[in-house]
Chains A and B, each alone.
Chain A
C-alpha cells in the first residue's frame, strides 16, 4: 500500500486518526493529512504533532464552508497526486456525507461509519452497525482505493508526540460548490456532552409526562451524571434536546454506568449504549428487551423505584450534595 490520507472537519478526530495511521505505517505506508477551511494553516500546525509526514493545507475561499462537493474535489486530487490507497475520514455528520461522495468520485468502496477499525494481516478490517443495529458487519474494502469514515471514539485518543511533518500549501484547482452556506445558528440546548459522560440516566417513554422529569434529573444529580433519553422523548415530544438522545441516529455513549428507565430496548436505541461498562434497567415489563442488554434489572414501576434509589444514593453520601462526576474531556 502506498499511503494513508487523513481528513476530518473536527481537528481532534483528525489527530486521532493520524496517530492511528502513523502507528500502522509499516503496513499502510506513509501517513499524510489534509487540513481544509478556515484558519487551516494554524490548525495544520497543531496537526504536526500527530505523526503525519506531510500535511496539505487549503484555506481557499471555496472550501471555507466545507461543502461536500468542494472538499471532495480537493481530497480526490490529493489522493491521485499522492497515490493514496486509504483515506480515513472522521465520521462526523459532514464526514459521513463527504466519504461516499469522495468514494464515488474515485470509484472506490466506502465504509461510512466504522465503529471498529483494525488491521488483520495487511487488511484494514472495519466493523459497522448493520440490519438496523441488530448486527455488526465486519468487512474490508477491496477496491484499490479505500474510503473509511471512522466514528468518534473508535480509535484511541491521540497524545501529541514530536512535532514533525511538512506543511504543504495546496496548489491544485479548487472548484467551488454551486451551493452556499447562508446562515449558521447554534443548536439550542447544547449544554451537555452525553458521549463523554461517565454516568448517565437514560429515560424512555415510561416517563408519563414532562412534569415528571425532575424524578430522573434528581437521580442523575445523585449519581453525579447526566440525563439522556430515547428518541420519542426528544424528537416526538420535545421534552429533552436531541443532544441527549441516544441511539443509531443519536449519540453513542460509553459511560461507566448507565441507568435505563422506562426504555423498551429497541435495537435502534441500544446500539448507542453498547459502550457502557455497566447497565442497570428499570422497567415494569419483565419481558422488555432492555433486560437482555442489562447487567442488573429491577422489574418495577419507575415512579416507585427511582425516588427510592435516589434517596438511598443521597443517603450514602450522608445526605450531602452529590459529588460531581469528573468533567468531560476538553
Chain B
C-alpha cells in the first residue's frame, strides 16, 4: 500500500510582528516549519505503516527551495521518501494552483491508495486544498477525519467530526482524506532519526516536469483579489484595574453594570 501525505510549509505565526500602525503584519525573515495538522496526517500514515506490512509513506510538498530543509522533519518522523515540487511560481500560487500541482504530482507518483492532508493550514486555514485535489482527480473526499482506519485491502474508514455528530464514512481506495488534530499526537523524532533523515531519498520536480506553468498555476490573486490584509483595529478599552483586589472587583462590577452586560 502507498500513502501520500501532503505537507505545507508555513511561517511561524506566533512570531508575526506588526508595523507601528499595529495592523500591518511583517512577515520577512520569520522561521518556517511544517504545518501542525499535516503532522497529524503524517503521524497517522506512519502508524498505519507500523501496523500493516508493505506500506510506503511518501511526503509530498510544493513550494519554495526552503522545503529541502524543512521536509527533513517529515523524513525523520518516518516517511520513507519525499517528493518536492519546487518552483518560484509556487511561492505566489493560490490554493487552486497548489491543488493543481499536488494533483499532477500525485498522478505522477502513481498507484497510491490514500492521500492524506491536514484539514486546513496553520496560516490560512481555508481548507481548500483537500477538496480541490479530490475534485481534480475525480476522487471522493473524506474531510475533517478524527479517527482513521485503513485495512490491508485498502478499504478506508474515516470518522468525521461534524458540528453535532460523528459521521463514519467508508470508501475503497483511492481516496483523499483530510484530518484534524484529534487524530493523534505526532511523535517527536529521536536524534538518530533526524541524523538518518538526510540519507532518505528526496526527489525534486519542477512545474515543467508536471506539464504545468504560468497558465495553469496562476499567481496568488488570479482568482481572489486581496483588498487589504490587516489586523482588526483594536477597539478594546485595555483598562488594567488597580488597587487591592476587593477594590478592583468592586470597580469591575460597577463597570460591567454600567455597560449593561451583567444583570
Contacts and interface: CB of A to CB of B under 8 A. Distances in A.
Contacts of A110: 95, 128, 223-224
A111 B224 contact: yes
B166 A187 contact: yes
Nearest to A183: B168
B208 interface: no
Prevailing SS type, chain A contact patch: mixed
A99 B238 CA distance: 38
| Chain B interface category by residue count | 35 or more
B229 A138 contact: yes
Prevailing SS type, chain B contact patch: mixed
A143 B131 contact: no
Interface of A: 67-69, 72, 92-94, 96-101, 103-105, 108-113, 125, 128-143, 177-187, 190, 199, 223-224, 235, 242, 248-249, 256-257, 266-267, 274, 277-280, 286, 291-300, 304-305, 308-309, 312-313, 316, 323
B247 to A, nearest CB: 11
Contacts of B260: 256
A98 B236 contact: no
Interface of B: 13-14, 16, 23, 25, 27, 94-96, 99, 120, 122-132, 134-136, 139-144, 157, 160-172, 175, 178, 180-182, 221-232, 234, 236-241, 245-246, 248-250, 252-253, 255-256, 259-263
Nearest to A76: B135
Contacts of B163: 92-93
Contact of A180 (B94, B122, B171): B171
24 contacts: A68-B141, A69-B135, A69-B141, A101-B141, A131-B27, A131-B229, A132-B14, A135-B229, A135-B230, A137-B228, A140-B224, A178-B139, A179-B140, A180-B170, A186-B165, A257-B262, A266-B14, A277-B261, A295-B239, A296-B256, A297-B240, A298-B240, A298-B248, A305-B245
A134 B167 contact: no
B159 to A, nearest CB: 8
Contacts of A249: 120, 125, 180-181
Given A136-B229, A312-B253, 14 more contacts: A67-B169, A68-B131, A100-B135, A109-B223, A112-B128, A133-B125, A135-B229, A179-B170, A184-B165, A185-B168, A235-B182, A280-B252, A296-B240, A298-B249
